[in-house]
Structure 1
Amino acid sequence: MDITLPSTSSALFNVPKLAEDGSNWITYKERTLTAIGARGLMHYITGCAVRPAPISLPQEDDGTEVTDAEIEAFEKKMDEYYQKDSLVKQQIFSTITDRLLLRVQKLGSGSNVWAEICDIHEGKTELVQIDLRRRLQETRCEENGDVKTHFSEMLQLHVLRP
């Protein structure tokens, strides 16, 4: 069976923007990790991707020289590494606010960027839970209101709960 992956411009990889207040962090995180995993780039976000080791320069006592083929192979590996890491960063950068982008853009690798965004928002998760619980408790059906709509709103708040 032939499994063909969609192109990287596919709507399959579209992830809604992370809210400024991080209120959608839990669903954003899951969608982002799924989109990156679907591209086969998970090791670039976890920090497990290894940058190619540089070519050793010739040693005076060794006498061997680096060949053009070795240089070309090294450059190809470096290009592939940076392209894949940039895909991870592009996926993240296209779904965060400009303010957050300015904060994380200089962190280098995609894994460093993702780790910083996680650090920023993981602590907010408890606050989001408390706020959702409060909103759920305060939700009331208006006098002569539509009960179906009320239950739908309550269900939506319940589903958002982490």
Structure 2
Amino acid sequence: MDTSNSSSSSLYNIPHLAEDGGNWITYKERVFTAIGAHNLRRYVDGRATLPAPLALDPTSNLPVVPGPTGNVAATVADIEAQEDLIDEFYHKDSLVKQQLFSMISDHVLLQVQSLDNSSMIWKEICKIHEGKSDLVKIDIH
């Protein structure tokens, strides 16, 4: 599936995470598999980083790029290429956020929605449910 043109409500249809975390272990594996299938796992594990905007020349306040003898004025193509990288990061990060948000309860969503990126959201979801899965294991035994 091409993630750049995905119109479905989620990357893959994964069962919702139970409020009590009872399905945490299988949910977590399904999330990693679905997100990994779309080459987006680095957005969950924190390896994806937002590209920095171009530096600005201190005197002209115009964008610059490194040249052979120092910074040179950025071309329109340089600016567009950097903006495309930034847009691609936000697009892919939003795909992962959408996938995560579609599978959690409103209660958990309210706890994580203000976090900056999908990696931080995933870490918080893990923090909320890691301990719950241990309690479920004890209950099963």
Aligned partners of 2:114 and 2:30: how far apart in 1?
24
1:94 equivalent to 2:102? Answer yes
Could you say which residue in structure 1 is the equivalent of 2:137?
A: 129
Aligned-partner residue type, residue 101 of structure 1? L
User: Aligned Cα RMSD in Å?
Assistant: 2.2
Aligned partners of 2:134 and 2:12: how far apart in 1?
28
More strand by share: 2
Provide TM-score, normalisation by structure 2: 0.83
Could you say which residue in structure 2 is the equivalent of 1:48?
A: 47
1:85 equivalent to 2:93? Answer yes
Question: Which is greater in Rg?
Answer: 1
For residue 60 of structure 1, report the CA deviation from its aligned partner: 3.4
Aligned-partner residue type, residue 106 of structure 1? S
**Any stretches of 5+ residues in structure 1 without a counterpart?**
134-162
Greater length-normalized contact order (CA 8 Å, ≥ 6 residues apart): 2
1:66 equivalent to 2:65? Answer no
For residue 12 of structure 1, report the CA deviation from its aligned partner: 7.3
For residue 6 of structure 1, report the CA deviation from its aligned partner: 6.5
**Any stretches of 5+ residues in structure 2 without a counterpart?**
61-69
* Cα deviation digits, residues 100-159 of structure 1 (max 9, x gap): 0011000110000000000111111211001112xxxxxxxxxxxxxxxxxxxxxxxxxx
Provide TM-score, normalisation by structure 1: 0.73
Q: How many residues align?
A: 129
Could you say which residue in structure 1 is the equivalent of 2:20?
A: 21
The 8 Å contact of residues 57 and 66 in structure 1, kept in 2 or not, is answered as: no
Could you say which residue in structure 1 is the equivalent of 2:123?
A: 115
Aligned partners of 2:84 and 2:2: how far apart in 1?
24
Aligned partners of 1:41 and 1:79: how far apart in 2?
15
Aligned partners of 1:47 and 1:6: how far apart in 2?
22
Aligned partners of 2:76 and 2:10: how far apart in 1?
41
